[in-house]
Amino acid sequence: MPLLHQAFCRVLRLTSRLVEGPASVCGAPRAFTFNHVLAGMMSKALTIRTLMILGGFILSSIWTLAAEGDETTHPVAPFQPAISIGEALGMADRYIQENGVDIAGQYIRLVRLDYSTAPERKGPYWRIHWTWATPRLGGEYGLKIFMDGTIVPERAGP
């Protein structure tokens, strides 16, 4: 039985006093549409409150039926990076010292775990980005530290 039909029948059973006509609408052999139900209900001078209650019944019925019928779940396994954030910052510090990179006047503005979709290097990486302490145009420095230990420098601006 389709999910929406089950929810509709459940709501009709709960609100049978509001509907004119046969009590067992869902089991009736004749065609019975939403229009028949609405026509019977509209003659009863419904208020906004009643419509809100009906809407709540419909939503809760659909939610309950969806939860009952959902046999497949797709759990997302937590991602544990191969290199911790502390290790990445240590690697960045060593890289800057070994390669003589001048980051005087800059501070670390961003450390983020990101994912590269580039064909030459796919996978998660730590992105560390420095920015100027005083406003300047360009020259900001950044590093991408991939989980295999590869470090790719990047400059921002002219």
Structure confidence by residue, pLDDT tens digits, 78-116: 778 999 999 999 999 999 999 999 888 999 999 999 999
Helix, strand and coil percent figures for the chain, each rounded to 5: 40, 25, 35
Phi, psi of 52 (to 5 degrees): -65, -40
Q: What does the DSSP 8-state code read for residue 106?
A: E
Whether the full predicted model's pTM is greater than 0.75, yes or no, is: no
Residues 6+ apart with CB under 8 A from 48: none
Q: What is the predicted pLDDT for the residue at 80? A: 87
C-alpha 101/C-alpha 80 separation (Å) is: 30
Q: Give the pLDDT score at 22.
A: 47
Residues present in the chain in total:
158
* Residue 136, pLDDT score: 83
For the record, the structure tokens of 54 come out as: 């009906």
Closest CA to 135 of 112, 154, 157, 155: 157
- What pLDDT, on a 0 to 100 scale, did the predictor assign at position 153? 93
Strands 140-146 and 121-132, by their bridges, are: antiparallel
Which positions of the chain have pLDDT values less than 70?
A: 1-49, 61, 63-76, 157-158
Measure Cα distances from 106 to 82, 84, 114, 142 in Å. Answer: 28, 23, 22, 11
